[in-house]
Chain A
């Protein structure tokens, strides 16, 4: 069961452009994490959002948790080649199976 759907699945943009990645679900999560993963390596935690409507910024990355805690977005401003990677969202389904559910992933390529 895929509780979290990410869009787009693939994204290729030029350096300096802005982009937004979406993570959507019909389920409520206690919290939601965003990770970035390089090929052959483990996911690296970027941020955890907990409160509905919460917005967190990490340099050029802005994360938002939906008011109902069912969805989230990641916005990158002025993308750089170093932003290239697989972006994953993961929801803490504490009330739904007591496990973390991962999104389908968004593969981002930033072209210099």
Chain B
């Protein structure tokens, strides 16, 4: 049973460029959430996708956008990169369901460095 996978593992970009990060959820999961984590801090929620739509969004600018595909995999796009976007980007998957316990499982993350 494959867990959450992310690609690429590392990425170096320059200011103003655009980047796309990819995530495949754990088998059987239908919800994908994206987080940004600065060094030594807790993850900050970017947004969550369910049924190919953005369901919830954290306090991130419109430069951050995403997509979920019919197979539940997801992409995170960041436009007009800033130095401050350098971080570990984490994808987490979970199974939605009213009344059930939701538990998130994380991928290994993508380390993005903006120069």
- Given the known interface contacts A31-B102, A107-B40, the answer about A100 and B111 at a Cβ–Cβ threshold of 8 Å is no
Q: How far is the CA of A6 from the CA of B42 in the complex (A)?
A: 10
For B33-50 the 0/1 string (1 means CB < 8 A from A) is 101000011111100100
Q: Mark each residue of chain A from 82 to 94: 1 if its CB lies under 8 Å from any CB of chain B, else 0.
A: 0000101010101
B106 within 8 A of partner (CB): yes
How large, as a class, is the contact surface on chain B?
Answer: 20 to 34
Which one of A42-50, A59-67, A72-80 is at the B interface?
A42-50
Tell me whether B101 is interfacial, beta carbon within 8 Å: yes
Q: In the complex, which residues of chain A have a beta carbon less than 8 angstroms from the beta carbon of B55? A: 98
Across the interface, do B58 and A42 meet the contact criterion of CB distance under 8 Å? Answer: no
Q: Is A33 in contact with chain B by the CB < 8 A criterion?
A: yes
Chain B residue at smallest Cβ distance from A41: B108
Task: Please state if A99 and B33 are interface contacts (CB–CB under 8 Å).
Answer: yes
Which residues of A are found within 8 Å of B17, using beta-carbon distances?
none
CB pair B41–A105 under 8 Å, yes or no, is yes
Q: Are B102 and A99 in contact (CB under 8 A)?
A: no
In the bound complex, do residue B102 and residue A94 qualify as a contact, i.e. CB atoms below 8 Å apart? yes
CB pair B43 A88 closer than 8 Å: yes
Q: Name the B residues within 8 Å of A105 (CB-CB).
A: 40-42
Neighbour of B56 across the interface among A31, A40, A45, A97, CB < 8 A: A97
**Distance (whole angstroms) from the CB of B43 to the closest CB of chain A:** 5
Minimum distance in angstroms from B68 CB to a CB of chain A: 16
What are the interface flags for B45-75 relative to A under an 8 Å C-beta threshold, 1 for contact and 0 otherwise?
Answer: 1001000000110100000000000000000
Residue B25 at the chain A interface, CB threshold 8 Å:
no
Give B57-113 interface residues, CB cut-off 8 Å to A: 58, 88, 90, 92, 101-109, 111
Nearest-neighbour CB distance to chain B for A95, whole angstroms, equals 12
Closest 6 CB pairs of A and B: A42-B106, A102-B42, A105-B42, A99-B56, A42-B109, A42-B108
19 CB < 8 A contacts A-B? A31-B102, A33-B103, A40-B111, A42-B6, A42-B106, A43-B90, A45-B105, A48-B103, A88-B43, A90-B104, A92-B101, A98-B55, A99-B45, A99-B56, A101-B45, A102-B43, A102-B45, A105-B40, A105-B41
